[in-house]
Structure 1
Amino acid sequence: MQLSIVIPLLNEQESLNELHDWIAQVMQSNHFSYEIIFIDDGSTDGSWETIESLSDANANIKGIRFFKNYGKSQALHAGFKEAGGDVVITMDADLQDNPEEIPELYHLITKERFDLISGWKKKRYDSVMTKNVPSKLFNWAARRTSGVKLHDFNCGLKAFRSDVVKNIEVAGDMHRYIPVLAKNAGFSKIGEKVVQHQARKYGKTKFGAERFINGFLDLVTIWFVSKFGKSPMHLFGALGVLMFIVGLGFSIYLGIDKLFVNPTGRLITARPQFYLALTAMIIGTQFFLAGFLGEILVRSRRSGANYSIKEKVNIP
């Protein structure tokens, strides 16, 4: 199979038939062998019934239904797990991603030997203040912290070699940082393609302004995981030892001063340096223990995203 097209969705019933017909037309005109995997992330509007109907009419359609809304990352993880194509394409279900881009994305992966191609919505049809400006700021921060030079990290239209999606773990809200996850997994040939962005035809966006706050928090997380995820002791242990040494230094100074310099002076506990020393040593010990526990968790961590599948169609 040449292509697996993975489409997570939440309450997009109105667009599913049109999206399916558009993708199928592109696949047939380019003579691709393909599958379309719809992941229903807890929809309540009849999206699953539409997916079942499409699967009955087209054997290339597969569907996964979650018991509840787990989020886009878990939906992508489930789709990646089931994908059987040599190239995996991700796109949104709201008709804002253009299926006509798929053939060129496929050839960039197969002919140019890219590991991952990320779409870049250079011209957007979203609200300037609620999406465009925050998105530019978010992408700038992501480039600076990750070292991955992409203009649009959060574009839903991406293409991957199959072994890329099989070797990354997309959990939490890390779908925004799949290129960074791929880089951290050793897939370094990451490219970008300008893609057409279209105005939403049906319904409304499922993401509010809070996604940018969450996005920046996730960026801090992935920066930390990238640098210290394999050995958290390198950060917490170093900070802990440093703080403990500072506290110990104050303690030695206070002891020498009381015993040899000014034995009749104030009690040690009456001096502010005593509390600085005590606080630094306690914090240092806690940092060190955090690093130690982090090392234990890293070694015992179980892989896989957390979701429960309710139903599948056309998947053995």
Structure 2
Amino acid sequence: MAGSNLKAGGRLVSVVIPCYYSELTIEKVVTMTRDVLVSKGYRYEFVLVNDGSTDGTFDRIRSLCKDNPSIIGVNFAKNFGQHSAIIAGLRYVHGDYVMLMDDDMQTHPSQCGLLLDEIEKGEHDVVFAQYPQHKEALWRRLGSDFTLWTMRVLTGRPKGIEASNFLVMKRFVSDEMIKYDGPYVYIQGLMFRTTHNMVNVTVKHFEREVGTSGYTLRTLVRLWSTVLNFSMVPLRLASIAGAVLGLLGLVWAVLLVVQKLLDPSIQTGWSSLMVTIILCSGIIILFLGLIGEYLGRLTMTVSKTPQYVLKEVIEDGGDEDA
């Protein structure tokens, strides 16, 4: 890839930024991040992925690419989600280190150096930003805490590690992640099955400068459900629940028979029978739905449902049709 900054000394850092309605912030994010990288002696490249924004976001990306050949612009045909945008960007990186960050100035460029200083020690493969104070709504924070807990249980995330989308990883991790071609992408899940050699670094969480988060409750639930692509734990829980219920049913049946033998006048309990039927039926339907979700995702994978559809790619300051 061409670019005057690539002739300088030092390691090359590839910065991947998924962009969603960020025409007012993306130029500032790129400029400030570039200044931090240059001041620390790094060479740089940026991969900016427009995730279906219909405002002037890609026009701004196009302008940045024209001014600096070290910036690559990727334009999606429609919105595919942040994690699909990230994995698309990872397929264009060339760096020794790969940095992921957001486009809204909450993952602030001034904090990049802290992550890079830690990865330079060579002891870890991935360095996640960790926020002592979050600048987000309470419901988002509670939802994030629940997601982090379930993801640790279901995906085998190392205990004590707080995952985020602000991180730096070594190139081999990125190279392994982009081998995944399934339609449901979960970036942290791909990392956890690649390496457990991770660490957190505390950084400051800034306020969003413009607009509001593109995540709604619906999109957060959809993102959480992507864990089904990376874990067999829910199916194993279904098997365990079925075995436990079967055992409890057997014990209950024996107790009822003994009770009836000891006291023939006892009437069979209609209420307890209805409660048992409703409880067991509910659990059966729940796990049938879970199995159906797995089968549906398998069908989508077999039918080659795309992770994303490229509309346009800009490299070396020039346009290239996808």
TM-score relative to the length of structure 1: 0.70
- Alignment pair present for 1:307 and 2:317: no
CA deviations over 1:30-89 (Å, ceiling 9, x no partner): 442332000001122222122222222222111111112222121112112332322110
Q: How much does 1:235 deviate?
A: 1.9
Matches within 5 A, 1:1-316: 2-122=12-132, 126=135, 131=136, 133-134=138-139, 136-138=141-143, 140-142=145-147, 144-145=149-150, 146=152, 148-150=159-161, 153-154=163-164, 156-168=165-177, 174=186, 178=188, 182-183=191-192, 185-201=193-209, 203-207=210-214, 210-211=216-217, 215=220, 222=227, 229-230=231-232, 232-247=234-249, 302=301, 306-314=307-315
Rounded Cα–Cα distance in structure 1 between residues aligned with 2:29 and 2:280: 61
Secondary structure of 1:113 counterpart: coil
Is the alpha carbon distance of 1:242 and 1:288 closer, same or farther for their aligned partners in structure 2, counting shifts above 3 Å? farther
8 Å Cα contact 1:121/1:197 also seen in 2: yes
Secondary structure of 2:25 counterpart: helix
Secondary structure of 1:79 counterpart: helix
8 Å Cα contact 2:127/2:200 also seen in 1: yes
8 Å Cα contact 1:12/1:93 also seen in 2: yes
Rounded Cα–Cα distance in structure 1 between residues aligned with 2:32 and 2:283: 59
CA deviations over 1:257-295 (Å, ceiling 9, x no partner): 999x96x998x9x95666567667767876786787788
The one-letter amino acid paired with 2:199 is G
Identify the residue that residue 7 of structure 2 maps to in structure 1: none
Rounded Cα–Cα distance in structure 2 between residues aligned with 1:70 and 1:110: 33
For structure 1, the residue ranges without an aligned partner over 5 or more in a row are none
8 Å Cα contact 1:8/1:38 also seen in 2: yes
8 Å Cα contact 2:183/2:300 also seen in 1: no
Rounded Cα–Cα distance in structure 2 between residues aligned with 1:18 and 1:38: 13
The one-letter amino acid paired with 1:205 is T
Q: How much does 1:15 deviate?
A: 2.5
Q: Is the deviation greater in 75-84 or in 303-312? A: 303-312
Rounded Cα–Cα distance in structure 2 between residues aligned with 1:221 and 1:167: 19
Rounded Cα–Cα distance in structure 1 between residues aligned with 2:298 and 2:149: 29
Is the alpha carbon distance of 1:239 and 1:31 closer, same or farther for their aligned partners in structure 2, counting shifts above 3 Å? same
8 Å Cα contact 2:185/2:307 also seen in 1: no
For structure 2, the residue ranges without an aligned partner over 5 or more in a row are 1-10, 153-157
Q: How much does 1:173 deviate?
A: 8.2
Among all aligned residue pairs of Structure 1 and Structure 2, give the percentage whose two residues are the same amino acid: 21
Identify the residue that residue 8 of structure 2 maps to in structure 1: none
Rounded Cα–Cα distance in structure 2 between residues aligned with 1:82 and 1:120: 27
The one-letter amino acid paired with 2:173 is V
TM-score relative to the length of structure 2: 0.69
8 Å Cα contact 1:248/1:277 also seen in 2: no
